A and B are shown apart, each in its own frame.
Chain A
Amino acid sequence: MRGSFSALVIREISVVLKSQNEFIYPIAFFFIVTSLFPLAVTPDPVQLAYIAPGVIWVAALLSILLSLNGFYQSDYEEGGLEQLLLSGVSGPTIVLSKSLANWLVTGLPLVIVAPLIGVLFHLDGEANWIAFLSLLIGTPSLCLIGSIGMCLTLGLRNGGVLLTLLVLPLFIPVLIFGALSVQAASLGDTTSGQLAILGAMLILSIMLAPFAGSAAMKISID
């Protein structure tokens, strides 16, 4: 069981890394979208620091939404997903391994890049640290929740737009507490509560999302 799980994760990561430079897109997207805000809103440091938590979180959320497709769509179209299911690996294991690979390839680089964006947005050190922490706890939940929506829309013609419609409402609680924690940190408040709720959401999504995703995947495949 453990062997097949790690083998699956390694397979997912190597498939994505070998498919040209696609794994770079979400991070590039994250960078570009965040750098639009100073241009569109204001370059004033005080106001930038004020909007930074929200901007960083929304951009991270959208980047993860963009990255989901690469982990499922081609696998589904080429029949790889079907073969994996036939090979006796359980559905939840597939979803969990894909989500973990998705997070390692997209989520983790976002988390690492985020403090740099924070500096560009004049976030102070403490808030920047909390932004890093909250993204570290929050982005895996996004990958897991997103995988449910992705599995639901696998076989559909214009699944991309529908995916956004399905998944974004489910992302909102994570977004609220993630951005709240950074805001609280920049105001000098305690942030343990918000981070604890993010952690609770992560535990909940690790427990439930693989099963929902696997149920959805089986509907799309048969």
Chain B
Amino acid sequence: MWTWFFQLASPKWVFQFIEKLLPWFRAITLVLFIAGLFLGLLYSSLDYQQGNTVRILYIHVPGAFLSMFAYVLMAITGAIGFIWRIKMAHIVSVSCAPIGAILTLLTLISGAVWGKPTWGTYWEWDARLTSYLILLFLYLGFMALHSAFDDRKSGDRASAVLAMVGLVNIPIIHFSVEWWNTLHQGATISKLEKPSMDADMLAALLTMIAAYQFYFLTVLMQRIQGEILVREKLTGWVRKLVIASK
């Protein structure tokens, strides 16, 4: 069991492991997206006030969830890499950032598109929206800081510190709804209480969250592979791989 755990720190082993997993993850992502989009866009019931507009929910909410998840993953793997100096953890952390940034952007844009028909405005300086904007800035800062260092190792460590500092911001984002409680509605799904939405809407939403989750993991694994190839370009196994692929 422990050898499996230790192998996670070896870029070569991880690269080959991902190679085996990827087809499965791609297939699962595709199936979940087809099922989720079918359930969400065609099958699920309409909101009694918002009508068809409510279907943006199935794009917006999973994106919001995953962009937060990506940040937490980025910070935790960054911390692991920082504390125990594990190369692979930094690779994962760095690979999370662009995906998380894109998902945050998607959340902001889909939110703006949703906001126009329901709130009557594309943008409102509400706590939750502002927090996501800050989250986007944090992602951009992380990527900018990482690329500013000539030495990749220092860049890894510095951006890991920044990610950990930014993680303090995540609870503020989460509780901002309760603190300011302006235009954005509170969380609808909670673990403890009965969700206040129809069962078919919930099914569609959960399927879409799963689809986004698998999409995130698939893209993350591909980015990790790319990052490994760049960092290990001088090693023998990467050379063999490149020659074999030619």
Contacts and interface: CB of A to CB of B under 8 A. Distances in A.
A216 interface: yes
A173 B170 CA distance: 12
Contact of A212 (B134, B137, B140, B165): B165
A170 B161 CA distance: 13
Interface in A123-169: 148, 152-153, 155-159, 162, 165-166, 168-169
Contacts of B172: 173
A148 B140 CA distance: 17
Nearest to B143: A165
A204 B138 CA distance: 19
Contacts of A219: 154, 157-158, 161
Contacts of A216: 158, 161
Chain B facing A: main interface SS? helix
A157 B172 CA distance: 32
A170 to B, nearest CB: 7
18 contacts: A148-B165, A152-B161, A153-B148, A155-B154, A162-B141, A162-B148, A166-B141, A166-B144, A166-B162, A169-B134, A169-B137, A172-B130, A208-B165, A212-B161, A215-B82, A219-B157, A219-B158, A220-B154
Contacts of A168: 137
Nearest to A173: B172
Chain A residues touching B, range: 20 to 34
Contacts of A156: 148-149
Contacts of A212: 161, 164-165
Interface of B: 82, 130, 134, 137-138, 140-141, 144-145, 148-149, 154, 157-158, 161-162, 164-166, 168-169, 172
Contact of B166 (A159, A170, A220): A170
A39 B116 CA distance: 34
A157 B149 CA distance: 9
Contacts of B145: 152-153, 162, 166
A172 to B, nearest CB: 6
Contacts of B148: 153, 156-159, 162
Given A204-B168, A220-B154, A169 B161 contact: no
A167 to B, nearest CB: 8
